[in-house]
Amino acid sequence: MAHHQSAKKRIRQSEARRIHNKYYARTTRNAVRKLRNLTNKAEAQEMLPKVVAMLDKLAKKNIIHNNKAANIKSSLTKHVNELA
């Protein structure tokens, strides 16, 4: 158990950040899942830039790794381009 005031504050801050990060990561994961399930190319092309922006924001804030964001963006773009 933390005894120093700074350690207690660090625990409070990290818990708040964890909840905040979890919300945005979950929202983005749901958007990625939704985009992967689309079969209409027009809808997918419309949704792709929004999902890419979400991934970029997560990577910028170090919620996910830059390379992971790049890999997901690449696979999503490939998926959208393969739709008929």
Examine the pLDDT at 4 and tell me if it is beyond 90: yes
The pLDDT value recorded for residue 56 is 97
* Total domains, the chain: 1
Q: Which residues constitute the domain of residue 61?
A: 5-82
Cα dihedral sign, 34-77-50-15: positive
Report the chain's mean pLDDT, rounded to a whole number: 96
* Assessment of whether the complete model's pTM goes beyond 0.75: yes
CATH number at residue 60: 1.20.58.110
Long-range contacts formed by 53-61: CB under 8 A, 24+ apart:
54/24, 54/27, 54/28, 55/28, 57/24, 58/24, 58/25, 58/28, 61/21
The pLDDT value recorded for residue 2 is 84
The pLDDT value recorded for residue 84 is 79
Question: For 37-63, what is each residue's pLDDT tens digit?
Answer: 999 999 999 999 999 999 999 999 999
